[in-house]
Structure 1
Amino acid sequence: MKPLMNDVLLRALLRQPVPYTPVWLMRQAGRFLPEYRALRAKSGSFLAMAHSPDLATEVTLQPVDRFNLDAAILFSDILTIPEAMGLGLRFENGVGPVFEKPLQDEKTVRRLQPVDMEKLSYVMDAVSSIRRALSSRVPLLGFSGSPFTLACYMIEGRGSRNWLTVKRMMYARPDLFEHIINVNTDSVAAYLSAQISAGAQAVQIFDTWGGCLSAEMFRRYSLESMRRVIERLPKEHEGRRVPVIVFTKGGGLWVRDLAGIGADAVGLDWCVNLSEVRTAVSDKAALQGNLDPAALLAGETVVRQEVRKVLESYGPVDGGGHVFNLGHGVDIQTPVEAVAALVDEVHSYSRRFH
């Protein structure tokens, strides 16, 4: 592979000097893009696109071709691992992901084994295909759901506002719950390692539901499992360090803990003050975030104002590392022009802080 033409994101994640603040967006390849909607209608379903390396490559490159982003992120889903374990994933309109065989009895839980990576070879094929298609324009991010977040869907069988089935098992049968977490930890570590071997140049762990836990349970089940995953990932590939980002939605109370588990960067939702978090984390990790995605619905003037507030909150970089992102994914209602304005404002306004 030829050298990266734009490695600003990778350097920022490692807290190295950069000329401006890099930017990528969670769900940047998604339903707000007309070209994505057209391809999804043609392909028939979300899973059809995710299972096809060619279609996943096309979707991954759509936002990179349209906007001046500093990274591409693999088009896939956080539930690829439990799907490959045979839990029977499908997507229902108005409901979202549903598993036909949730883990809700002891016999089913005890049978659970780490994922057979051969069943996820299509993801690695997509990573390799995307790297070739990018032709070293920008780095490629791989990702996985966290062991705890995967467990939420695997036990509950679908999304939830309170995860009571999950928490009932967690408190009443910690032996079963720990078995699921341990299997998921092994699986996530193997999955991300395989993505790195296939060509991912940085990876993010999406701990989407870690914020629903008590402090004790977060540290016991979510934080510790992510630490074990990070510990087992390759530190370098293709002669270069592979940065790891952890993102716990609702995890603002535990940023010091998150910054201490070996990750290079901590992703932040919009519910925390970036300046305060920077002070708390000190020099332990770079920070990623944290604009409220809803700001993108308010027009270009507001978008540019809010981008500036985030950059000003982080302040002069001075050896730190900041990657601009949203506090969660791009909403389906987001105007394409708003994302273009965001990227332009980040790149232009951030230069005064470097």
Structure 2
Amino acid sequence: MSVSLNLFDDSPFLAAANGRKHLHTPVWFMRQAGRSLPEYKAIRGSGSILEAIKQPTLSAEITLQPFHRYGVDAAVLYSDIVVPPHAVGFGIDVAPGTGPVAETPFRSLADLQRLRPLEADDVSYVIETVKLLVAELPTSVPLLAFAGAPFTVASYLIEGRPSRTYQNTKRMIHLEPELWHQLMDRLVQHSVTFIDAQLTAGARAFQLFDSWAGSLSNADYREFVLPHSKKVFHQLRELHPEVVGIHFGIGCDHLLESMYEAGPRVMGLDWRTRIQSARARLGSDLVVQGNLDPALVLAGSQAALAGAERVLDDNANHPGHIFNLGHGVDPTTDPTVLEDVVAFVHEKTRIEES
């Protein structure tokens, strides 16, 4: 297959994100920078990830490591979804082996005073990291900004640590809906300000991670979450009309239509939702991101490449496809398997320029 030259005027990632063909299907991986890479372990040092993020030179180097190793088509900022509440002094950190842990969970209106609005200056170190990366990356490889969606960040603040049931979060939703919506409004402001700061500094697309939205029924999602996620996408579209937004969650097949209604340009799919099914439900022109099962990567190159081929077959040569895993890279992943996946996807989907 060949395409005309005028379709090659931007990066593979940005072309696919806008539903256009390019030289090959673009690839990047959620959590591509971090604990799975030996070069990361060599420079990371000890201490919290939130302290490492405050060192722009270190953060930039970590962000670039998977680009240099894998040849991915996008770099994603080395950061964390709890950077905004941490930056305003809420009292939350990322505990190794556990995840985000809040010293004093959010449980009352008084706690809203501890979660003041975010200002760009609060995350000046992130802005500096973005500027370093934009100067270093080739123009064909965009830097992706990201933030946690209001619901997922709220669940960490309320539960105080990762949860399987989100009982405290759901209790607040149903027993104190006014407080819930006040908290969500504050977290909308955090998400928008954090992503806007990254985009203004030079990032060229963004992903909103609603990792734990799948714990909700569709009815609860639509009433208590969707209006706030809509605000994030709407406000960022007003600030950056040409920038592509991606929406992603885990176990969200039952929320697919509702999450797309929030307003992303690209829907991120986990490994349980088929690409063809998503397009049948949301429209044939849907741009999707995903969705190789991360467990197949842990099973080695043969299993990973067979799974990658199934994903590509499911996409059926649709131009609007960004290849990714259906969740983040596991820390125990063998980097050589991801190297093989990137090379395979690029070669399998490569088209000739006419």
Would you say same fold, with TM above 0.5? yes
1:290 alignment partner AA:
N
Distance 2:325 2:66 in 1: 15
Percent sequence identity is 38
Aligned to 1:289: 290
Q: 1:52 aligns with which of 42, 49, 55?
A: 55
Distance 1:257 1:330 in 2: 26
Distance 2:200 2:24 in 1: 29
Pairwise CA distance, 1:284: 5.6
Q: Confirm or deny that 1:63 pairs with 2:62.
A: no
Q: 1:174-201 deviations in whole A, cap 9, x for unaligned?
A: 1111110011112211221111111010
Aligned to 1:344: 343
Moved over 4 A (4+): 234-237
- Distance 1:216-1:249 versus aligned 2 partners, 3 A rule: same
Distance 1:263 1:284 in 2: 13
Aligned to 2:5: none
1:16 alignment partner AA:
R
- Report 1:10-29 matches (<5 A): 10-29=14-33
Pairwise CA distance, 1:80: 0.6
TM-score of the two chains, using structure 1 as the length reference? 0.92
1:159 alignment partner AA:
P
Aligned to 2:213: 210
Q: 1:117-151 deviations in whole A, cap 9, x for unaligned?
A: 32111111111111112143511000000011110
- Distance 1:24-1:332 versus aligned 2 partners, 3 A rule: same
Pairwise CA distance, 1:50: 0.9
Q: Confirm or deny that 1:168 pairs with 2:171.
A: yes
Q: 1:141 aligns with which of 121, 134, 144?
A: 144
Aligned to 1:132: 135
Aligned length: 346
Pairwise CA distance, 1:168: 0.9
- Distance 1:99-1:267 versus aligned 2 partners, 3 A rule: same
Name the SS for the 2:324 alignment partner: coil
Name the SS for the 1:144 alignment partner: strand
Pairwise CA distance, 1:279: 1.7
- Distance 1:81-1:45 versus aligned 2 partners, 3 A rule: closer
Name the SS for the 1:126 alignment partner: helix
Q: 1:229-251 deviations in whole A, cap 9, x for unaligned?
A: 111114686xx921110102111
Pairwise CA distance, 1:224: 2.1
Q: In 2, are the aligned partners of 1:256 and 1:281 still within 8 Å (CA)?
A: yes
1:275 alignment partner AA:
Q
2:134 alignment partner AA:
R
Distance 2:67 2:99 in 1: 26
Distance 1:236 1:109 in 2: 26
Q: 2:105 aligns with which of 102, 105, 115?
A: 102
Distance 1:126 1:241 in 2: 22
TM-score of the two chains, using structure 2 as the length reference? 0.92
Distance 1:46 1:170 in 2: 30
Q: In 2, are the aligned partners of 1:73 and 1:140 still within 8 Å (CA)?
A: yes
Aligned to 2:224: 221
Distance 2:302 2:134 in 1: 35
1:66 alignment partner AA:
R
Name the SS for the 2:34 alignment partner: coil
Pairwise CA distance, 1:338: 0.3
2:43 alignment partner AA:
L
- Distance 1:186-1:283 versus aligned 2 partners, 3 A rule: farther
Q: In 1, are the aligned partners of 2:50 and 2:83 still within 8 Å (CA)?
A: no
- Report 1:265-280 matches (<5 A): 265-280=266-281
Aligned to 1:114: 117
- Report 1:76-91 matches (<5 A): 76-91=79-94
Aligned to 1:250: 251
Alpha-carbon RMSD: 2.1
Distance 2:122 2:277 in 1: 43
Q: 1:78-137 deviations in whole A, cap 9, x for unaligned?
A: 001111221212233442221113211232236643223321111111111111121435
- Distance 1:64-1:251 versus aligned 2 partners, 3 A rule: same
- Distance 1:353-1:257 versus aligned 2 partners, 3 A rule: farther
Q: Confirm or deny that 1:32 pairs with 2:36.
A: yes
Pairwise CA distance, 1:351: 3.3
Q: 1:257-307 deviations in whole A, cap 9, x for unaligned?
A: 323332110000011112111221214631000110010112212211110
Name the stretch that deviates more: 68-77 or 128-137.
128-137
Name the SS for the 1:104 alignment partner: coil
2:325 alignment partner AA:
L
